[in-house]
């Protein structure tokens, strides 16, 4: 444990989508492998309180933490790279900052003073940044600032970084991630946008210590010298981040350039062990050189935007590596599935994964996908809405309750096998009001679920939903062959269903994808891919 927590700020320039989240996660993984305890935080400059109410088309997946925070998908990367849980404190938006300041103002905490961006908003941002350091749990806190330098809405954050650099002195470092574009016509990389971006950062009073240049081609040494000269950054602190074959390669590419060494030295951290990335390298090696492959269909209604299912896609990658298998994901739009198209659309798959979701659009297609997987003995994993679809499909086609549905989709269904929980009935506000975060689940011994989790009696998984399995139908479904193999010990709610007569059929009300990491691929995904392999071998 360091005497005092070190803070690293990561800003982005020139354009968005350069991969600040991946660079932050990669640096964190390198520092962690040197024996430091590290956490990463994301500050998002938008006015929503959190991304929970955002349409996935806007913002990709909403990642959920153990403590029930609905957060930016970058937190998923942080957890996957660090194998360490994040919390509410790891994602803060402008909306939340203003909400706190306005609540204080209403309480009279400002004693009649005029409330202003500086110092009140910047003080609140500082408080949120220091919250993680003040836990005493971390040697290093990496704070990623969303958006791009020069954005109007990012200004208070950059100003906060400026102030903190004065306050923290050597305990703080500023990393600027920028784009070095390649002009095909002249065959050249161009450093000018980076020079401008750093100038803009300097105009706000922040001098970066480290530059990370995202580029399609390697920067020459001359270019690095030139960038160092123009930006007041030492030559050894100009790094390149080239397009990698997989995001999991990025830590190794940065390690090859000794980025962790430079960071440790600049922060005055005493590192008593070199970065040991051997387990990580072997993960990447296996990922890049699989010995077999399976085809898994991911059925959802946001498949045009793959970020909407980020954690599921990554969990499948982890599970593939655990099985030395390449998982080829076929992204299948549930709106395109009906009884006449489903067998063609799903043909050749070794596994069917029906994704989480909300609302009526595309839901009947999900039920068709379940029906096909169930009747054709294709391994099936249903997550949240996908699990609910599997219960509805069973009620309709095995119990013969043709109008069975979730009350979310048809409020007038005569057989609401999926229904609203009592405590949800009075909820009117949308933000942060679902069943959110970690809940215990007791697994019934002897079931597939119990076997998947290595015989564990009780597991903990994260939730994000309003509707639930309706226990009024429990006996009927059980008698018809659908086994409730995981039950919430506090509420009696069904969290896992399975069909023992099927080779591998599991529906989970929770989201296992949030807990899969490089170090610990999730057992449910590992077992699902294994079942897919068995299917591939026998077909
Ligand atoms: N729409 C469903 C519910 O609210 C499932 C949510 C989900 O898949 N995350 O219960």
**Full pLDDT tens readout for the chain, 539 residues:** 445 899 999 999 988 888 999 999 999 999 999 999 999 999 999 999 988 888 888 888 999 999 999 999 999 999 999 999 999 999 999 999 999 999 999 999 999 999 999 999 999 999 999 999 999 999 999 999 998 999 999 999 999 999 999 999 999 999 999 999 999 999 999 999 999 999 999 999 999 999 999 999 999 999 999 999 999 999 999 999 999 999 999 999 999 999 999 999 999 998 768 889 999 999 999 999 999 999 999 999 999 888 999 999 999 999 999 999 999 999 999 999 999 999 999 999 999 999 999 999 999 999 999 999 999 999 999 999 999 999 999 999 999 999 999 999 999 999 999 999 877 777 778 787 888 999 999 999 999 999 999 999 999 999 999 999 999 999 999 999 999 999 999 999 999 999 999 999 999 999 999 999 999 999 999 999 999 999 999 98
Please tell me the residue having the least CA distance from ligand 1 atom 6: 465
- Residue 356 CB less than 6 A away from ligand 1: yes
Which residue out of 302, 385, 389, 434 has the highest number of ligand 1 atoms within 8 Å of its CB and is therefore the one to mutate? 385
The pLDDT assigned to 422 comes to: 78
Phi and psi torsions of 529, nearest 5°: -65, -40
**192-203 and 221-231 helices cross at what angle (nearest 10)?**
20
Residue 411 preceded by cis peptide, ω within 30: no
Phi and psi torsions of 381, nearest 5°: -125, 120
Atom of ligand 1 nearest to the CA of 356: 8
What is the signed CA dihedral for 499, 446, 312, 460, rounded to 10 degrees? Answer: 130
Catalytic residue, from 62, 172, 213, 384: name it. Answer: 384
Catalytic residue, from 144, 368, 498, 513: name it. Answer: 513
Atom of ligand 1 nearest to the CA of 384: 8
The pLDDT assigned to 55 comes to: 85
The pLDDT assigned to 490 comes to: 94
Atom of ligand 1 nearest to the CA of 408: 1
* Burial class (CB within 10 angstroms; exposed 0-12, middle 13-18, buried 19+) of 439: buried
Q: Look up 330 and say whether it is catalytic.
A: no
Catalytic residue, from 120, 463, 465, 511: name it. Answer: 511
Distance 334 CA to ligand 1 centre (A): 15
Distance 505 CA to ligand 1 centre (A): 19
Distance 513 CA to ligand 1 centre (A): 15
- Residue 464 CB less than 6 A away from ligand 1: yes
- Residue 357 CB less than 6 A away from ligand 1: yes
- Residue 385 CB less than 6 A away from ligand 1: yes
Q: Which two tokens stand for residue 360?
A: 């009526």
Taking the whole predicted model, whether its pTM rises above 0.85 is answered as yes
Using one digit for the tens of pLDDT, what is the confidence trace for 211-261? 999 999 999 999 999 999 999 999 999 999 999 999 999 999 999 999 999
Nearest to 449 by CA among 440, 458, 439: 458
Q: Look up 511 and say whether it is catalytic.
A: yes
Q: Look up 84 and say whether it is catalytic.
A: no
Please tell me the residue having the least CA distance from ligand 1 atom 8: 356
Atom of ligand 1 nearest to the CA of 355: 8
Between CA 404 and CA 465 the distance in angstroms is 19
Which residue out of 357, 359, 366 has the highest number of ligand 1 atoms within 8 Å of its CB and is therefore the one to mutate? 357
Atom of ligand 1 nearest to the CA of 434: 4
* Burial class (CB within 10 angstroms; exposed 0-12, middle 13-18, buried 19+) of 424: middle
Which residue out of 300, 466, 494 has the highest number of ligand 1 atoms within 8 Å of its CB and is therefore the one to mutate? 466
Is 116 within 8 Å of 124 (Cβ atoms)?
Answer: no
Pairing outcome for strands 325-333 and 292-300:
parallel
Nearest to 127 by CA among 83, 93, 97: 97
Distance 107 CA to ligand 1 centre (A): 36
The pLDDT assigned to 132 comes to: 94
Please tell me the residue having the least CA distance from ligand 1 atom 3: 465
Phi and psi torsions of 535, nearest 5°: -65, -45
Q: Which two tokens stand for residue 467?
A: 């509707």
The pLDDT assigned to 424 comes to: 77
Between CA 407 and CA 410 the distance in angstroms is 5
Residues whose CB falls within 8 Å of the CB of residue 447, separated by 6 or more in sequence, listed in order? 483, 485, 498, 500
């Amino acid at each position: 444990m360091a005497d005092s927590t070190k803070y690293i700020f990561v800003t982005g320039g020139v354009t968005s989508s350069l991969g600040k989240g991946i660079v932050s996660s990669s640096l964190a993984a390198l520092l962690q492998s040197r024996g430091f305890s590290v956490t990463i935080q994301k500050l998002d400059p938008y006015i929503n309180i959190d991304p929970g109410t955002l349409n996935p088309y806007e913002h990709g997946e909403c990642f959920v933490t153990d403590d029930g925070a609905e957060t930016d998908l970058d937190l998923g990367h942080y957890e996957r790279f660090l194998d360490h849980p994040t919390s509410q404190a790891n994602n803060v938006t402008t909306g939340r900052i203003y909400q706190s300041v306005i609540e204080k103002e209403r309480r009279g905490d400002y004693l009649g003073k005029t409330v202003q961006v500086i110092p009140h908003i910047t003080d609140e941002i500082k408080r949120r940044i220091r919250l993680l350091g003040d836990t005493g749990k971390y040697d290093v806190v990496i704070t990623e600032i969303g958006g791009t330098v020069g954005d109007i809405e990012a200004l208070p954050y950059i100003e906060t970084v400026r102030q903190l650099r004065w306050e923290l002195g050597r305990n703080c470092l500023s990393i600027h991630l920028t784009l070095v574009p390649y002009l095909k016509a002249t065959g050249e990389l161009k450093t000018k946008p980076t020079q401008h971006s750093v100038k803009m950062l300097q105009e706000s009073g922040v001098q970066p210590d480290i530059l990370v240049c995202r580029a399609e081609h390697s920067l020459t040494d001359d270019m690095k010298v030139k960038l160092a000269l123009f930006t007041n950054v030492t030559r050894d602190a100009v790094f390149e981040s080239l397009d990698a074959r997989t995001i999991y390669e990025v830590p190794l590419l940065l390690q090859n350039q000794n980025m962790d060494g430079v960071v440790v030295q600049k922060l005055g951290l005493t590192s008593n062990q070199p970065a040991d990335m051997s387990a990580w390298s072997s993960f990447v090696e296996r990922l890049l050189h699989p010995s077999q492959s399976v085809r898994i269909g991911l059925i959802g209604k946001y498949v045009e935007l793959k970020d909407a299912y980020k954690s599921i896609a990554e969990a499948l990658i982890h599970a593939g590596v655990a099985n030395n298998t390449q998982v080829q994901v076929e992204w299948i739009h549930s709106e395109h599935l009906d009884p006449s198209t489903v067998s063609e659309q799903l043909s050749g798959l070794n596994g069917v994964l029906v994704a989480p979701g909300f609302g009526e659009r595309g839901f009947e297609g999900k039920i068709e996908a379940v029906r096909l997987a169930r009747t054709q003995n294709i391994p099936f994993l249903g997550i949240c809405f996908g699990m609910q679809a599997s219960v509805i499909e069973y009620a309709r086609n095995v119990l013969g309750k043709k109008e069975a549905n979730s009350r979310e989709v048809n409020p007038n269904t005569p057989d609401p096998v999926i229904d609203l929980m009592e405590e949800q009935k009075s909820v009117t506000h949308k933000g942060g009001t679902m069943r959110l975060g970690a809940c215990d689940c007791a697994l019934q011994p002897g079931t597939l679920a119990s076997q998947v989790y290595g015989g564990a009696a009780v597991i903990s998984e994260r939730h994000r939903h309003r509707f639930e399995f309706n226990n009024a139908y429990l006996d009927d479904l059980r008698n018809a062959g659908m086994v409730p193999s995981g039950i919430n010990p506090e509420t009696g709610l069904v969290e896992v269903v399975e069909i023992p007569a099927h080779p591998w059929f599991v529906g989970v009300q929770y989201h296992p994808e949030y807990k899969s990491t490089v170090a610990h691929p999730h057992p449910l995904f590992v077992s699902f891919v294994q079942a897919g392999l068995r299917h591939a071998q026998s077909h």
